[in-house]
Structure 1
Amino acid sequence: MRVRLSLPDKDQLTIGVEEEFVLADPVTGGPALAAPRVLELLDGEPAVMPEFLRFQIETATGIRTGLDEIRADLLGLRGLVADAAGQAGCLVLASGTPPCGDPPGLPGVTAEPRYRALAAQFPALVPEAGTCACHVHVGVPSPALGVRILAGLRPWLAPLLAISANSPFARGADSGWASGRYPLWSLWPTAKPPMDWADPAAYAASVDAAVRRGDAMDAPGVYFYARLSPKHPTVEVRIADVGLTAEDAVLLAGLVRALVVTILAEARAGVAPRPVRTSLVVASLAAAARDGYPGHGVDPFTGESLPQHLIVGRLLEYVRPALRATGDFATIERQLAVVRAGETGAARQLALFAETASPAAFVAKLASATLAGTGTPGRPGPPPAQRPAAVRGG
């Protein structure tokens, strides 16, 4: 059913994007446990944060209303982190998994109480825990509408994953997955699709039950693929790999916001979400993670095997009115054309790997691709001790 969109004021359609990155040793290509040093060099920059493992680092854009603002934040933060990483003697990679080298396991856990407690509760998951995602937050008017949005997002998570898949390598070899991050992340007990909850109380009960069972340490540790943010008045979509380029993240942010706008319009028009079985949502996600775009897909409504490009096409058709209403259509179409040409993150990683003769050369190319558009070369500089003290924090 086509619903006439009733768009809220643009200032209510806020977007925020969080990106997680791998820090890599430029000589071995493996993970570099350098996040504490990078953060020290950034001298308290609030938009850059530690992550679970010391070879990961996270950035967060401001709360924005336009994709141009999101792009500017993403490019600025990638350049900022890469500059500090270069001073620390390592590279920044936008990859859903560390592409080369062995994970460090428990010795790699960040020395913060929360992360230590998480590692103690889930020690078996630590060795493969260093995955990197792109999280998109969209402001919502109320928790009740947020829960309705989560139900409406269920069938569209798979095409979002297919176009964002960017982790085909593990330990220097092709894993056979376009998103190798997805099966690793899904080992966490609460990493699963959102349900069709009746109301915020039912959602909260599901979160509380997960914590009581020991499936999560607390509410922020409940890792639904899309959830109500435990910190902000937003819906947070967490299904995507970190994008190889900032433009990949802009594409994801625009599509997620358009989905939220569309589902909100349906809710206000009294249109119930189309029923979809959780087993088919899971099957569609597994196919998207294995093959990416433009490979094999599963229609989450029927279970039919379909080319992924048809499923992504249905997504675009579904959100087209919202994209036009927000003024994002041209931006999304331009970047989707890149995806349709086969230039996904996973495909670009595979092509770069084929061009290189060593892990060091491969991660150097990945670092360069990560910084496309930033004006930052991404090459590690001299050890920090050889640099003037004035560069600290800058």
Structure 2
Amino acid sequence: MRTFGIEEEFLVVDDQGRPAHAAGAVLDSADDSTPGDLQHELTRSQAETATGICETPAEAIEQLRAMRASLADAAGRRGLRILPCAAPPVASTDLPAITPHPRYERMAAHFGATARTTLTCGCHVHVAIPDAETATRVLGHVRPWLPALLTITANSAIADGLDTGYASWRQQQWTRWPSAGPPPRFASHADYEGVVDAWLRAGAILDRGMVYWDVRLSDEQPTIEFRVADVAATPEEATLLAVLCRALVTTVLDAGEPPHLSNEVLRGRLWRAAREGVTGHCPDPTTGDPRPTAEVLARLAAFCGPALTATGDTALVETGLARLTHDGGGADRQRRLFTTRCRATDVVDHFAVCPGGTRPAT
């Protein structure tokens, strides 16, 4: 069974939902005996978790719940909250504060306002891959499915006290980084490395960890890493995304030449998916014509059907996608809450992780 792992980034906010510059204190006092890792991020208003290597969805959900609860407990002791939203719903008068670490400080100095004004949280899925050449070919095959994957956890409709008009406002903000967005179709792993080397020489990235493509090869682990998604509202939605990413990799692992799809066209498709999310329309991965997202996701599940059957994940995916496309995802819930009273704090109150558990506060 192909293994996978999930990384989640969270906002640390005060009792009014404003980003708080206190992630370091929360992380330092959190219970680190749970499986997985608790990690610092670029800004002092973010905390990150990373599961260990998982084989089953149950393992992933258990670890994600435990780490969310650990962070929420530590935050609660300081009158703070952990918020699984991909952009701050409540506006702040302060710029994000950079975490006091040499790498982050160097990034802030080099990239200026791009680093100092970007406060977004993503969900990253790692899937085991046998070698770099195979991984590079897999990148080409999964590229057309990136818009559909983005819709699954789109969770940043309300940002800075406004309805942004997007399901994933994070996607719009994050692509300001010069190395962000969809990767091109590479001819080989040497081609991939050539682009990374050119970015380093140009100063568009400061190290290989700043390769921010929506899907990339991991430098630290033998995995392909999907980075296109918003942080999920719930552990179950994050795991649904991960299971589909794993099945997609398994399905295309032995496929031939990847399809030709220009980055200009793919960027346009990602924009449409980010705008409408899971209850709207998403470009078809083959034709590019907008179709109801529910149909595109059903097609993805069918495409990965044998891989899902092999891991016993078919029912989980069918149930998860049916619920998402019927009830809406994180962005839809944010928008419903905000529309009622036009108060971003209502979004915070609902989505914040409760101390001792992962159910939203209500």
Give yes or no for the alignment of 1:275 onto 2:269: no
Alignment of 1:17-28 (within 5 A): 17-26=6-15, 28=16
What amino acid is the match of 2:216?
A: R
- What residue number does 1:68 align with? 58
| Higher Cα Rg, which structure | 1
2:140 to 148, 151, 163: 151
Map of 1:159-238 to 2, 5 A cutoff? 159-238=148-227
| Mapped partners of 1:295, 1:151: distance in 2 | 26
Q: Does the C-alpha gap of structure 1 residues 278 and 301 become closer, same or farther in structure 2, counting only changes over 3 Å? A: farther
- Deviation per residue, 1:274-331 (Å, 9 max, x gap): 2222222111100000011221222343332322222222211111111111111111
Q: Determine if contact 1:144/1:199 at 8 Å carries over to the other structure.
A: yes
When residues 25 and 205 of structure 1 are mapped into structure 2, their CA distance, relative to the original with a 3 A threshold, is same
Which one-letter code corresponds to 1:347 in the other structure? D
How far off its partner does 1:14 sit? 1.0
Q: Cα distance 1:377–1:261, how it changes in 2: closer, same or farther (>3 A)?
A: closer
Q: Is 1:331 the counterpart of 2:316 in the alignment?
A: yes
Q: Which of the numbers 23, 39, 50 marks the counterpart of 2:27?
A: 39
Instruction: Report the count of equivalent residues.
Output: 359
Residue 375 of structure 1 corresponds to: 357
Distance 1:313 1:351 in 2: 25
The partner residue of 2:247 within 228, 246, 258 is 258
What's the TM-score, normalizing by structure 1?
0.87
Aligned amino acid, residue 357 of structure 2: G
* Offset at residue 127 of structure 1 (A): 4.0
8 Å CA contact retained: 2:37, 2:49: yes
Which of 43, 50, 57 is the matching residue for 2:40? 50
Deviates further, 294-303 or 64-73: 294-303
Map 1:241-390 to 2 at 5 A: 241-266=230-255, 271-355=256-340, 358-367=343-352, 370=353, 375=357
Q: CA deviation at 1:44?
A: 6.2
Structure 1 residue 361, shift from structure 2 partner: 4.0
Contact 1:190 1:222 in 2 (8 A): yes
Aligned sequence identity (%): 41
Uncovered stretches (5+) of structure 1, i.e. residues with no partner:
1-9, 380-394
* Stretches (4+) displaced over 6 A: 43-46
Which stretch shows the higher mean deviation, 308-317 or 298-307? 298-307
Local SS of the residue matching 2:12: strand
Tell me, yes or no, if the aligned pair for 2:27 and 2:40 is still in contact at 8 Å: yes
Question: What are the Cα deviations for residues 11-45 of structure 1, in whole angstroms up to 9, with x where unaligned?
Answer: xx11010000011111x321111101102212766
Which position in structure 2 is the counterpart of 1:16? Answer: 5
Deviates more, 1:330-339 or 1:274-283: 274-283
Structure 2 residue aligned with 1:391: none
How has the CA–CA distance of structure 1 residues 237 and 73 changed in structure 2, closer, same or farther, with 3 Å as cutoff? same
Query: Residue 139 and residue 88 in structure 1: after superposition, are their counterparts in 2 closer, same or farther (change >3 A)?
Result: same
Measure how far apart 1:217 and its partner are: 1.0
Cα RMSD between the aligned structures? Answer: 1.9
Aligned to 1:63, what secondary structure does the other structure show?
A: coil
